[in-house]
């Protein structure tokens, strides 16, 4: 029963990192507001920026990312989770501006990932209601094993290490008492009469030792 209790506690502890890795990404994106420009956003090379915005189902929207004179090659992804596992993507290889026109399939939170392919500098991002052109961007599956690793690897590591420790502890032979600590024996006293005398017996090796000792001088075990 004690072993199963330890395993249960270990499983619960291993779920703590999973709780953080699955919820923290929802708190990380920069909040966007419809028809409002976020300017002075910056890239320094090989980076990504994540934004979130609330949109209505069946409505048309336009995302504009413009780097002005900084000549950055930027791509846009939009999905329904911060992990951007699947969704719409556009990358025209333009060095100044990317524009995505799309229609939402449901109401709620959408996540926009801006990825820098080359260059560095500043840009602005704007999400507008309505479109000025036909829908752009293709529906793509962005699944990467790294998403899965980020989610579950900390929990798997804690669980594996914990199980190894429990198994090692369980494999140790359990020390069982050899006999009772105290034993009543019959001894002849100086007057040649039989008397009952209490002596201390080591519970592990069974030899007679002095009463009230905390450690057996023979087997070196700690006595209860």
Q: In Å, what is the CA distance from 19 to each residue of 7, 25, 109, 110, 119?
A: 19, 11, 20, 21, 36
pTM flag (> 0.85): no
What average pLDDT does the segment 26-34 reach?
82
Integer Cα distance of 100 and 133 in angstroms: 9
For the ranges 2-16, 22-36, 121-135, 210-224, the one whose mean pLDDT is highest: 121-135
- The CATH 2.60.120.380 portion of the chain extends over 32-141
What size, in residues, is the chain? 224
pLDDT at 210: 73
Residue 140 has pLDDT above 50, yes or no: yes
Structure tokens, 79: 């999905």
Which CATH number is 32-141 given? 2.60.120.380
Residues 77-98: tens digit of each pLDDT: 898 888 777 788 888 877 788 8
Compute the average pLDDT of residues 172-198. 53
User: Which pLDDT value is given to residue 179?
Assistant: 47
Euclidean distance between CA atoms 113 and 78, whole angstroms: 6
Mapping DSSP onto H, E and C, the string for 22-69 reads: HHHHHHCCEECCCCCCEEEEEECCCCEEEEEEEECCCCEEEEEEECHH
């Amino acid at each position: 029963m004690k072993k199963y209790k330890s395993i249960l506690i270990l499983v619960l502890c291993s779920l703590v990192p999973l709780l953080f890795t699955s919820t923290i990404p929802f708190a990380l994106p920069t909040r966007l507001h419809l028809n409002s420009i976020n300017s002075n956003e910056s890239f320094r090379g090989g980076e990504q920026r994540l934004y979130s915005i609330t949109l209505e189902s069946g409505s048309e929207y336009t995302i504009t990312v413009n780097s002005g004179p900084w000549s950055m090659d930027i791509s846009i992804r939009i999905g329904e989770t911060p992990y951007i596992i699947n969704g719409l993507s556009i990358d025209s290889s333009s060095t100044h501006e990317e524009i995505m026109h799309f229609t939402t399939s449901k109401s709620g939170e959408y996540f926009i990932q801006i990825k820098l392919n080359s260059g560095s500098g500043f840009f602005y991002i704007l999400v507008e209601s309505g479109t000025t052109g036909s829908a752009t961007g293709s529906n793509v599956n962005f699944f990467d094993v790294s998403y899965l690793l980020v989610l579950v690897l900390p929990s798997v590591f804690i669980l594996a290490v914990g199980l190894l420790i429990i198994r090692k502890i369980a494999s140790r032979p359990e020390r069982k008492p050899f006999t009772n600590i105290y034993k009543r024996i019959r001894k002849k006293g100086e007057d040649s009469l039989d008397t009952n005398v209490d002596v201390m017996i080591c519970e592990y090796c069974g030899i007679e030792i002095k009463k009230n000792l905390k450690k057996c001088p023979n087997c070196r075990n700690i006595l209860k």
